[in-house]
Structure 1
Amino acid sequence: MPIEDYEQLLERYKANQCTEEEIAFLESWYMTYREDNVYESLSLSDREKDLNTVGERLGLEIPKKKLQLWPRLTAAAAIFAVIGLGLYFYRSKDHYPVSEYANDIASKGKNTATLTLANGERIELSDAKVGKLADQAGIQISKTKDGQLMYEVKASAGQTASTWNTLSTAKGEQYCVGLPDGTKVWLNNVSSLTYPASFASSKERRVQLKGEAYFEVAKDKLHPFVVKTQQQEVTVLGTHFNINSYTEDNQTTTTLLEGSVKVSAQNGLQSKIIKPGEEVLNAGRDLQVRPANLKATMAWKEGYFRFNNENLENIMNQVSRWYDVDVVYAGNRKELASLTFWGIVSRDKNVSEVLKMIERAEKVKFKIEGRTITVMSN
């Protein structure tokens, strides 16, 4: 792409005239601009001004000291091409060698889950037909045309029994459930949500989460909605928020998009109330409130991997869960795992696309053997 075309693209971006594909293009370009140092047509101050404009609107947390020069927009530099919803990354073979893997692994992404009823019956939702799936204690469970799970109370409050269901996803799966109070929950892969078939006889709407989920809680001032995880409880009346509580990540992050939530540590000694755009980090010590990167938090729900100064261990945990692979480290695991990266790529792409994106930083390289990925220092 000629430099003039890039300049026109930036001007359209500043005028809010870019398509979603063009925004994704600029996003990924911005995250890799540090690799090359030539754009002679603009002064350094002009380059930093435009980079700041793009970065602030994209919500990217790039340290100021790294705002150097624009990337070299020539054949020797990285060339990005937006295809569909994904980003393919090409590089000049003379300047940046592209890894070749012995085999590749396709995305396992499926809109499915397993529903376990109170009586122990298991329903594989990918195989279930649209319509009624089960009746239990005055509650009808149905699968909608768009593949979502819905609960509907068919009996009066006095007739409904206290029955609990569990919705669980395996590697490469995600699913959406509509609870009987009108709350909607999107469940990420390798996660489970345990909840009552009816909240009618309860003073609070309590559910249990393992893994990650995004909640859009129906408003009900008289019946607080409580999400319990291994490390904490989150209490709300009606709001939109995301909880990431994977065991292997050794921390729980609660991110608020709308409304208000109170996060309480499991020991009951500390709690925090946050407002939209903030998140609470619970790593087993004090609860830390900090600004949230909403684009990065919600990337999984939108179908992307999005890494914003993310450490390699967390990245590879995501890769392992989505592609159903094992990850091993050759060499100093602690040193490799602590490396940080930026990038964005569709979760529909083969795993090689994700690995090549990480390798662009020239810090690590990968080897794929069967369903095992080996991480090595570069």
Structure 2
Amino acid sequence: MDAKQAKALFNKYVNNECSPEERELLEKYLDSFQDDSLELSDLNFDEEIKPKMWSKIMSETTKEKQPVVRVLSFSSLMKYAAVIAGIAIGVSIWANLHNTNRQSLVIGDDKVVLRTSEGTSNEIVIGGISQINDDEGGVIASQEGDVIVYKPKSDIKQLVFNEIEVPRGKTFKVVLSDGTSVHLNSGTIFKFPVNFIQGEERKVFLTGEAYFEVAKDPEHPFLVNTSGMDVRVLGTHFNVSSYEGSVAHAVLIEGSVAVQEKDGGNIVGTEKVIVPGQKASLVSGNIEVQEVDVEDYVGWMRNVLIFNDEPFSEIVKKIERRYNVEIKNDYKELAPVRFNGKFDDETVIDLLETFRASAGFDYHISDNKVIINQNKRNSL
């Protein structure tokens, strides 16, 4: 497609005349260029069409006074915005305008911490190779990269626990002594036995989020204990989230699990069994079950941040955990507004700029904290 045909398509886009096929063709046209290989100013748009195009983009990314706001991916928004700005495809239109913000936000590099039953704390260097010893000097586990693997040991008479704390901005993996793999999300504390006792259930404790691939052992049920609910399995793949201040839930990918509510540490209510593709949430003291797209809940393992009809108040928490930043939202009306979006390797500034363009807020950075304010010119 040449520049003349592209210009005609952009005009149809502005006038809401693009068919789905033409819209897809326009996307592919923009995707076909790399870095600075195309100067979009060559399209020679008339000046009066540029504000119309920007208005069109904003109308698609912001639903004024609606409970759900659709967010374009960062790359899509930048491609269309680049057309208006008349600059090269590969150049972020925000890089120069917000360079100060980018430089002034310092991302911390906190360490993964392993605590033993003896009360010692050890910092885990991700990417390193090390051994973990018990109080007698015996090797109980080994670390390589971002994984710790615990060694099986028979004839255990008493449970000995270790605890791993994963800071914001990082993820980690633990392979338990029975072969169960546990992928830990950022901001998570996971407590588990160094070895399990023959004839007893396999019980672990979670605050935060983890994806479990449980080793099959029908004689020893596996139990994930959280502050609000327990998840009991024999062998399966599932994700559990129990961050403080957020709705606790379990999402099943494979197998079956039983979810039960807890009150003050005591099991209450009726046990509910869910099947793959279902999510069990603890809502107002009850376990609610619904069908979901499981990819929305396990993308974090691939370093993908996904929002599916989520309120901004919850999205802020995810951003804080993913990027290890602190965000203060002074635009209170934005908190319940729901968004859809998907982000891969964007920086936190890239992500904030995408939301800023679609939600109409302003932000600044003060004392290494992101402060969100209402944009008076484009309020909800």
TM over 0.5: yes
Q: Deviations over 1:68-123 (max 9, x none)?
A: xxxx9x98676xxxxxxx9585253796985736322366688x621101101111
Query: 1:136 and 1:204, CA in 2 relative to 1: closer, same or farther beyond 3 A?
Result: farther
2:289 aligned residue: 289
Note the alpha carbon deviations across 1:247-275, whole angstroms, 9 max, x for none: 122x1011010000011000411321110
The answer for unaligned runs of 5 or more in structure 1 is: 7-35, 51-71, 79-85
Deviation of the 1:198 alpha carbon: 0.7
**Separation in 2 of the partners of 1:131 and 1:2?**
58
Query: Structure 1 residue 307: deviation in Å?
Result: 1.2
Match of residue 252 from structure 1: 248
**Residues 75 and 227 (structure 1), Cα distance of their counterparts in 2 relative to 1, 3 Å cut:** same
Q: Distance in 2 between matches of 1:355 and 1:117?
A: 39
What aligned pairs does 1:148-227 form with structure 2 within 5 A after superposition? 148-154=147-153, 156-158=154-156, 161-201=158-198, 203-227=200-224
Q: Deviations over 1:37-96 (max 9, x none)?
A: 656453x7x78999xxxxxxxxxxxxxxxxxxxxx9x98676xxxxxxx95852537969
1:201 shift after superposition: 3.5
Please point out which of 262, 265, 274 is paired with 2:261.
265
Given the superposition, is the C-alpha separation of residues 113 and 246 from structure 1 closer, same or farther in structure 2, using an over 3 Å criterion? Answer: same
Deviation string, structure 1 residues 117-170 (Cα, Å, up to 9, x no partner): 11011111117952422135797333343331011134x314x54211101111
Kept in 2, the 8 Å contact 1:204–1:225? The answer is yes
Contact 1:87–1:344 (Cα < 8 Å) also in 2? no
Q: Which amino acid aligns with 1:364?
A: F
1:269 aligns to what SS in structure 2?
Answer: strand
C-alpha displacement at 1:329, in angstroms?
2.4
Distance in 2 of aligned mates of 1:92 and 1:209: 43
Pair 142,37 (structure 1): closer, same or farther in 2 beyond 3 Å: farther
Pair 179,272 (structure 1): closer, same or farther in 2 beyond 3 Å? same
Aligned residue number for residue 31 of structure 1: none
Is the Cα–Cα contact under 8 Å of residues 363 and 373 in structure 2 kept in the other structure? Answer: yes
* Aligned match of 1:141: 140
In structure 2, runs of 5+ residues without a counterpart are: 7-12, 26-49, 58-73, 86-92, 376-380
For 2:369 and 2:215, locate their aligned partners in 1 and report how far apart those are by CA, in whole Å.
42
- DSSP-derived class of the 2:342 partner: strand
User: How far is 1:308 from its partner?
Assistant: 1.5
CA distance in 1, matches of 2:145, 2:3: 44
Q: Does 1:117 align with 2:116?
A: yes
Structure 1's 145 and 93: CA in aligned 2 closer, same or farther, altered over 3 A? closer
- Tell me the distance in 2 between the aligned counterparts of 1:109 and 1:358: 25
Change (3 A) 1:287 1:138: farther
Other structure's SS at 2:363 match? strand
1:92 pairs, out of 81, 88, 98, with 81
Q: How far apart, in 2, do the equivalents of 1:329 and 1:358 lie?
A: 13
Matched letter for residue 147 of structure 1? D
Shift of 1:220: 0.6
Q: SS of the residue aligned with 1:102?
A: helix
CA apart distance, 1:338: 0.5
Query: In the alignment, which residue of structure 2 is the partner of 1:317?
Result: 317
> How far off is 1:339 after superposition?
1.1
Q: Retained in 2: the 8 A contact 1:233–1:265?
A: yes
> How many aligned residue pairs are there?
311
Query: 8 Å contact 2:227–2:262 — kept in the other structure?
Result: yes
Residues 192 and 87 of structure 1: CA distance in aligned 2, closer, same or farther (over 3 Å): farther
CA distance in 1, matches of 2:151, 2:359: 53
Identity %: 26
Amino acid corresponding to residue 115 of structure 2 in structure 1: T
Between 256-265 and 298-307, the greater mean CA deviation after superposition: 298-307
Match of 1:243 in 2: 240
Q: Distance in 1 between matches of 2:178 and 2:198?
A: 12
Q: 2 CA distance for matches of 1:3 and 1:221?
A: 65
Contact 1:239–1:259 (Cα < 8 Å) also in 2: yes
1:102 maps to what in 2?
Answer: 100
Q: Hey, what does 2:340 align to over in structure 1?
A: 342
Letter in 1 for 2:226: T
Deviations along 1:284-316, whole A, 9 cap, x unmatched?
332111112222111211102111222111111
User: CA contact under 8 A between 2:128 and 2:144: conserved in structure 1?
Assistant: no
In 2, the alpha carbon distance for the partners of 1:4 and 1:308 equals 37
Using the alignment, how far apart are the partners of 1:103 and 1:48 within structure 2? Answer: 34
Contact 2:328–2:370 (CA under 8 A) maintained in structure 1:
yes
Aligned-pair RMSD on alpha carbons?
3.5
